[in-house]
Structure 1
Amino acid sequence: MSRLFGSVRARATLAATLVVAVALVAAGAAVLLSLRSNLLGEAGTQAERSARDVATELAVGTPYADLSLDVDDRPVQVVDEEGTLVAASDDLERITGTGVETVEPRPAASPDGTGDADDGDDDDDAGEPLEAGEIGERTTVSDGSATIDGDTEDYRFAAVPVKTEDRGRLTVYAGAPLSAEHGAVNTALTVMLIGFPVLLAVVGWVTWLVTRRALRPVEGIRREMAAITASEDLARRVPVPGTHDEVARLASTTNETLAALQTSVERQRRFVADASHELRSPIASLRTQLEVAAAHPELLDLDGAVEDTVRLQHLAADLLLLARLDAGERPADARVDLAALAREEAGGRAGVSVRDDAGAAGGVTVAGSRGQLGRVLANLLDNAQRHARSAVEVSVRRDGDLAVVGVADDGEGVPEADRERIFERFVRLDAARSRDDGGAGLGLAIARDVAVRHGGTLTVHDAPAGGALFELRLPAA
Structure 2
Amino acid sequence: MRTTLGAVAIVTVALLAACAGLLGVIRHGLVGSAERTALTRAEAVAAVTGSGRLVDRLAVPEGEDSLLQVVTDDGRILAASHNLAARGPVASFEPADGHEAAARGLDLALRSDPQPHPFRIVAVRATTAEGSGVTVYAATSLETARYTQDLLLRSMVWGIPPLLLLVAAVTWRSTGRALRPVEAIRAEVAEITERDLGRRVPVPASRDEVARLSLTVNSTLDRLEESMDRQRRFVADASHELRNPIAALRAHVEVGIAHPRLLHGGELLDDVIRVQQLADDLLLLARLDAGQSPERSALDLRDLVRDTVARRPEGRVPVSVSVSVSVSVSVSVESTGPALIHGNRGQLARVLDNLLDNAQRHAREAVVVTVDAGPAGVLLEVRDDGAGVPEADRERIFTRFTRLDASRSRDAGGTGLGLAIARDIATAHGGTLGAGPGPGGRFALRLPADSSM
TM-score, structure 2 normalization: 0.89
Secondary structure at 2:56's aligned position in 1? helix
- CA distance in structure 2 between the partners assigned to 1:396 and 1:289 by the alignment: 45
1:460 to 429, 435, 449: 435
- CA distance in structure 2 between the partners assigned to 1:195 and 1:40 by the alignment: 26
Q: Find the counterpart in structure 2 of residue 422 from structure 1.
A: 397
Q: Find the counterpart in structure 2 of residue 400 from structure 1.
A: 375
- CA distance in structure 2 between the partners assigned to 1:289 and 1:437 by the alignment: 20
Contact 1:95 1:146 (C-alpha < 8 Å) held by counterparts: no
Confirm whether residue 318 of structure 1 aligns to residue 290 of structure 2.
no
Contact 2:31 2:142 (C-alpha < 8 Å) held by counterparts: yes
Contact 1:357 1:395 (C-alpha < 8 Å) held by counterparts: yes
Confirm whether residue 198 of structure 1 aligns to residue 162 of structure 2.
yes
| 1:170-203: CA deviation from partner (whole Å, max 9, x where unpaired) | 1111111111100111111111111111111111
| 1:232-251: CA deviation from partner (whole Å, max 9, x where unpaired) | 41110001111121111111
Counterpart residue type for residue 25 of structure 1:
L
Unaligned runs of 5+ in 2: 315-327
Moved more, 212-221 or 73-82: 73-82
1:473 to 421, 427, 446: 446
Residue 225 of structure 1 and its aligned partner are, at CA, apart by: 0.6
How many residues are aligned here? 431
2:127 to 156, 159, 163: 163
Q: Find the counterpart in structure 1 of residue 173 from structure 2.
A: 209
Unaligned runs of 5+ in 1: 1-9, 101-124, 130-136
- CA distance in structure 2 between the partners assigned to 1:71 and 1:54 by the alignment: 17
Q: Find the counterpart in structure 2 of residue 133 from structure 1.
A: none
Q: Find the counterpart in structure 1 of residue 232 from structure 2.
A: 269
2:100 to 138, 152, 157: 138
Q: Find the counterpart in structure 1 of residue 319 from structure 2.
A: none
Secondary structure at 2:352's aligned position in 1? helix
Q: Would the alpha carbon gap of residues 430 and 402 (structure 1) be closer, same or farther in structure 2, given more than 3 Å must change? A: same
Runs of 4+ in 1 over 4 A off after TM superposition: 69-72, 93-97, 125-129
Counterpart residue type for residue 101 of structure 2:
T
- CA distance in structure 2 between the partners assigned to 1:95 and 1:196 by the alignment: 47
- CA distance in structure 2 between the partners assigned to 1:149 and 1:439 by the alignment: 120
Q: Find the counterpart in structure 2 of residue 380 from structure 1.
A: 355
| 1:30-60: CA deviation from partner (whole Å, max 9, x where unpaired) | 1111000000001111111222232222122
1:306 to 263, 266, 269: 269
Q: Would the alpha carbon gap of residues 243 and 69 (structure 1) be closer, same or farther in structure 2, given more than 3 Å must change? A: closer
- CA distance in structure 1 between the partners assigned to 2:214 and 2:57 by the alignment: 90
- CA distance in structure 1 between the partners assigned to 2:3 and 2:219 by the alignment: 29
| 1:100-153: CA deviation from partner (whole Å, max 9, x where unpaired) | 8xxxxxxxxxxxxxxxxxxxxxxxx99658xxxxxxx72211111223332242
Contact 1:94 1:147 (C-alpha < 8 Å) held by counterparts: no
Q: Would the alpha carbon gap of residues 56 and 455 (structure 1) be closer, same or farther in structure 2, given more than 3 Å must change? A: same
The percentage of counterpart residues that share the same residue type is: 47
Contact 2:71 2:77 (C-alpha < 8 Å) held by counterparts: yes
1:98 to 80, 83, 91: 91
Q: Find the counterpart in structure 1 of residue 322 from structure 2.
A: none
Give the alignment of 1:45-124 within 5 angstroms.
45-68=36-59, 72-73=63-64, 74-92=66-84, 98-99=91-92
TM-score, structure 1 normalization: 0.85
Counterpart residue type for residue 444 of structure 2:
E
- CA distance in structure 2 between the partners assigned to 1:398 and 1:342 by the alignment: 14
Q: How large is the Cα RMSD of the aligned pairs?
A: 2.3
Q: Find the counterpart in structure 2 of residue 333 from structure 1.
A: 296
